[in-house]
Amino acid sequence: MVLLILRLSGKRGIKQLSIFELAIIISLGSAAGDPMFYEDVALLPAILVFSTVIGLYKLLTYLTGKVEKIEIFLEGKPIKLIDSGKINFEIFDHEALAYDELFTQLRQRHVTHLGQVKTAYMETSGDISVFFYLDEDVRFGLPILPELYDNPCKILETDKIYACRSCGELNPPFHADSCPICHNKMWIEANNELRIT
């Protein structure tokens, strides 16, 4: 019955489920659980719950296509995590995403430093979409390889470019002990090597 209802509802792959669709899956699992485990629980109430949940799902799916506010409430909006090779610190700081998670997903796309990334969005599904600079436009950026990221510089040399360990802001153009964007005081030597795929 669960498989039939999910087939009829046109479910996408598990990585593509929104929060709303995940709630539907949990509701269906809860409705199916009691008849499966307890002999004295009839199947008819579970079928009624299934029908109600799928009916509401179809109605809300229709409304999300027609009313933008409902779509935003149920599905959320993509969030720009990286802009012009730097972490969008104010937004990133409010998301339930760790640097390690972001950097892992970037490394899986052969990114070695943020200067290779033009923009990156966290989609409503939780996936990260990455858009790259062309080779001729790659700039200096924060290295995200663990052996570099985990070893911030103790002394800043005036003839080198450094990136803030928290937001990727470059130092220079300014010369300061703390980052003017996030006030972090740890710097990593930036690089501008091209992305190899």
Q: What kind and span of H or E run contains 129? A: strand 128-132
Residue 23 clears pLDDT 70, i.e. is over it: yes
Q: Is the pTM of this model over 0.75?
A: no
- 104 versus 172: the higher-pLDDT residue is 104
Q: Is 162 helix (H, G, I), strand (E, B) or coil?
A: strand
Do 85 and 117 belong together in one domain? yes
Kindly state whether residues 43 and 94 are assigned to the same domain. no
Q: Judge whether 104 lies within some domain.
A: yes
Q: What's the pLDDT tens digit per position in 139-166?
A: 999 999 999 999 999 888 888 999 999 9
- Do 170 and 87 share a domain, yes or no? yes
Report which of residues 194 and 33 the model is more confident about. Answer: 194
- CA dihedral 152→148→111→105, nearest 10 degrees, is -80
Instruction: Name the one residue in this structure whose structure tokens are 């200096």.
Output: 140
Q: For residues 163 and 157, what is the distance between their CA atoms, to the nearest angstrom?
A: 13
Q: How confident is the model at residue 11 (pLDDT cuts 50, 70, 90)?
A: very low
Q: How far apart are CA 150 and CA 161, in angstroms?
A: 17
Residues 88 and 183 in one domain: yes
140: exposed, middle or buried (Cβ count in 10 Å: 0-12, 13-18, 19+): buried
Task: Tell me if 196 is assigned to some domain.
Answer: no
Q: Is the predicted pLDDT of residue 10 greater than 80, yes or no? A: no
The CATH number of the domain where 152 resides is what?
Answer: 3.30.240.20
Tell me which of 192 and 26 has the higher pLDDT: 192
Domain count, the chain: 2
Asked if residues 90 and 82 have their Cβ atoms less than 8 Å apart, the reply is no
Predicted pLDDT at 75? 74
Q: Band of the pLDDT at 115, cuts 50, 70, 90?
A: very high
- pLDDT computed for residue 13 by the predictor: 46
Domain boundary, last residue among 75, 90, 106: 75
Residues 109, 19 share a domain: no
